[in-house]
Amino acid sequence: MGYVKTAILLAAMTALFMGFGLLLGGPEGAAIAFVVAAGMNVFAFWNSDKAVLRMHGAREVNEQTAPDLVRMVRDLATRADMPMPKIYIIETDQPNAFATGRNPENAAVAATTGLLRNLSAEEVAGVMAHELAHIQNRDTLLMTITATFAGALSMLANFALFFGGSRDRPGGMIGTIALMILAPMAAALVQMAISRSREYEADRVGAEISGQPRALASALRKIETMAQRIDNHVAERNPATAHMFIINPLHAHAHDKLFSTHPNTANRIAALEAMEVGRSAGPQVRAARSSVPSTGRGGRQSGPWQ
């Protein structure tokens, strides 16, 4: 089913590309847009995950460079009965994380240095489990391809400004203005369509993987509070990737509301806390808690993250 949704998304984005190409350059523009979109389809399926990781300056880590984080993710992946993803760290003070990859066998999770510095081990485990849930649910292919196409559509809209309002092009200057407005809006609408429900589901599955819904709820609360006052400069320059993060990383510019693809954090927290109440009387909660990595003073993991 995940590949069917991906095919529908690729077809929809290709149609949008061709429509905007027609608006910019008539039939010739539509033909060029089709060729570009076809090339992007191939690129997005095989390489969009690597492109997004490079865009955010992510560096891959292993047991030598980030032993505690790698062990944590391995334990969570084992509990979820899924392949071990590659693990990346992004240098930014804003706490956040995302997952990417075309399938569970070719997946990666990325955490920011701000996340690892400011959250407890249990909270980090909850966040990583949430990202593993996205991989397990095969959300990551849709998320990553959408980011690639949304960025391309926004770039196409910017090109319209430089080409200006030619009398020979259908719509003229009005068409150019419409394109500049509608291209990023269309991309954002597609993002919102695939983002909101999947976050609730990833919260639920992630809480089951980690065994601690309350720790994930606490992590969401901390991340949102800090993300509202700490800039993620790369995300601000590339807002089309915002829907990939566990919490919207954008806040510094006026366009951020357009890319507000995440459900209300308070509602997500309430759902997780209700889940904790429902589980608290069961023996599986106590068993799950015993598997969370040990912590040192103040609830932080005793070993270094990186």
Residue pair 127/96 in contact by the 8 Å Cβ criterion: no
Per the residue annotation, which of 63, 122, 123, 131 is the catalytic one? 131
Residue 119, Cβ density class (10 Å: 0-12 exposed, 13-18 middle, ≥19 buried):
buried
Residue 46 CA to its chain's centroid (Å): 17
Q: Which of 243, 236, 265, 17 is nearest to 139 (CA)?
A: 243
Residue in this structure with the two tokens 């847009």, named with its chain if needed: 33
CB atoms within 10 A of CB 296: 11
Residue with tokens 């984005």: 13
Query: 296 near 80, Cβ under 8 Å?
Result: no
Beta strands 59-61; 86-90: pairing state: antiparallel
Residue 252 DSSP one-character state: S
The residue with tokens 């969570």 is 76
207 phi/psi in degrees, rounded to 5: -65, -35
* Helices vs. strands in the chain: H and E counts, helices first: 10, 4
Q: How far apart are CA 260 and CA 251, in angstroms?
A: 10
Q: Is 199 a catalytic residue?
A: no
Catalytic positions, please? 131
